[in-house]
Amino acid sequence: MNSTIELAKELISRASVTPLDEGCQDLIAERLKKIGFNIEHMPFEEVKNLWATYGKEGPLFIFLGHTDVVPTGPIEDWKHDPFLPLEENGFLIGRGAADMKGSVAAFVTAIEDFISQNKEFNGRIGLMLTSDEEGPSVNGVKRVIKKLQSRQESIDWCLVGEPTANNQVGDVIKIGRRGSLGASIKIQGIQGHVAYPQKALNPIHESLGAINEISKLAWKDETGEFQDSVLQISNLNSGTGASNVIPGDLNFDLNVRFSPSTTEKEIKESVEKILSNHSLNYSVSWSLSGNPFLTKERTLIDAVKQSISEVTDIETETSTDGGTSDGRFIAPIGAEVVELGPVNESIHKVNECIRSEDLITLSEIYNQILVKLLAKD
């Protein structure tokens, strides 16, 4: 059996639903230790993090990934146990196969192959793993980076293994991501009997106009690299459950995915201006998940595109669409960040899967990236 597929199966068999790791990082650490990596475990609260490095000087290239997975959903909807990896019709099926235990396995085998073929090279290699990517992302990469910064450790290039491909490995890579800003808003009313509305203040009636206006907010991207910034209302709750009671409050959540053309301050001011203009008694709690980032330097992008072309003979498209990734914590420290992983069709779905052949291809591409950036001429 191919070593990448074998390792992917081992990782999938561990039910590491976020924030659990279930020994995935220990398994990988043991393999990397055998080939000379320095291993550092960085647990924060319930989250496991691994920082493994090889080499003592020169530019640092790292692979960034996560060992946690999303919940399976109804087990009965799966063809088989989601944590018993199965190869069927050319696909490896199991929770985390595409997001992103397949990529993590390919990281490891690419590193092993590169070091076996290059006893000396220009620079250093790192692997950063967390079990807090699918969760709140508070005690994972965010805190690891903070610790590395406190030690004046820097990163030059970062390859994130998130599933980026649309139809085949390498057809799309991410060179940036929009930021994510959320808000929880409470509109205060006065609870009362529906027969005596003059003695109450219905927060539903009072806030409908403002909510409609907020839902139409949008900000144009001026960079030419991103989709426009959009706002979506994701939750709305009010009422006591009784049809004869005017509720005392209304709560709703919103999220904005924003490009570098829009600022956090601008979004907050736009939303709160509408709430104030409608004379609402409101409170709001804002939460910034991450700022937008864009890799403009060409060194890593070119190495990735050339490696894909040499291994797959396809032309790669660069993109910044989709959700957030842990790359948002790496980019602000000055690293070039590119995301390259498997096809994203089945991620977070039941019967999540990856083409077995794609695991081998990914490992070859990752290895070739190391060659282009670090191998001696």
pLDDT in tens, 196-230: 999 999 999 999 999 999 999 999 999 999 999 99
Please give the backbone phi and psi of residue 134, each rounded to the nearest 5 degrees, phi first: -80, -10
Cβ(105)–Cβ(32) below 8 Å:
no
Q: Which of 248, 263, 252 is nearest to 214 (CA)?
A: 252
Q: Which residues pair with 88 in a beta bridge?
A: 91
Cβ(188)–Cβ(291) below 8 Å:
no
Q: Which residues pair with 53 in a beta bridge?
A: 38, 126
- Mean pLDDT score, 152-156: 96
From first CA to last CA, the distance across the chain in angstroms is 33
Q: State which of 270, 290, 310 marks the end of a domain.
A: 290
Q: State which of 248, 267, 290 marks the end of a domain.
A: 290
72 and 105 both lie in a single domain: yes
207 and 166 both lie in a single domain: no
21 and 127 both lie in a single domain: yes
Say whether 68 is catalytic: yes
pLDDT at 127: 98
115 and 130 both lie in a single domain: yes
18 and 123 both lie in a single domain: yes
User: Residue 363 to residues 37, 195, 221: CA-CA distances in angstroms?
Assistant: 19, 68, 35
Q: What is the residue range of 134's domain?
A: 3-177+292-374
What confidence tens digit (pLDDT) does each residue in 28-60 have?
Answer: 999 999 999 999 999 999 999 999 999 989 999
35 and 161 both lie in a single domain: yes
pLDDT of 1 above 90: no
> H helices then E strands: how many in the chain?
9, 20
321 and 354 both lie in a single domain: yes
Q: How confident is the model at residue 22 (pLDDT cuts 50, 70, 90)?
A: very high
- Mean pLDDT score, 325-332: 95
Domain at 364, CATH number: 3.40.630.10
152 and 20 both lie in a single domain: yes
What confidence tens digit (pLDDT) does each residue in 241-296 have?
Answer: 999 999 999 999 999 999 999 999 999 999 999 999 999 999 999 999 999 999 99
14 and 141 both lie in a single domain: yes
Tell me what percent of the residues of the chain surpass a pLDDT of 90. 97
Report yes or no on whether pTM surpasses 0.75. Answer: yes
Among the listed residues 22, 99, 132, 133, the single catalytic one is 133
CA distance 99 to 104: 9
pLDDT at 322: 86
CA distance 158 to 291: 17
Q: How confident is the model at residue 184 (pLDDT cuts 50, 70, 90)?
A: very high
Cβ(65)–Cβ(103) below 8 Å:
yes
Q: State which of 266, 290, 314 marks the end of a domain.
A: 290
CA distance 40 to 37: 10
pLDDT at 377: 74
What is the average pLDDT value for the chain, to the nearest integer? 96
Cβ(338)–Cβ(161) below 8 Å:
no
Among the listed residues 21, 22, 68, 326, the single catalytic one is 68
What confidence tens digit (pLDDT) does each residue in 123-151 have?
Answer: 999 999 999 999 999 999 999 999 999 99
pLDDT at 52: 98
Say whether 253 is catalytic: no
Cβ(63)–Cβ(300) below 8 Å:
no
Residue 44 one-letter amino acid: F
150 and 218 both lie in a single domain: no
112 and 19 both lie in a single domain: yes
237 and 297 both lie in a single domain: no
- Mean pLDDT score, 155-159: 98
Q: Count structural domains, the chain.
A: 2
Torsion of CA 306, 312, 317, 319, to 10 degrees: -90
pLDDT at 376: 82
Residue 154 one-letter amino acid: S
User: Residue 214 to residues 110, 211, 229, 253: CA-CA distances in angstroms?
Assistant: 48, 5, 13, 11
Please give the backbone phi and psi of residue 282, each rounded to the nearest 5 degrees, phi first: -130, 160
Q: Which of 283, 258, 261 is nearest to 272 (CA)?
A: 283
pLDDT of 323 above 90: no
Domain at 270, CATH number: 3.30.70.360
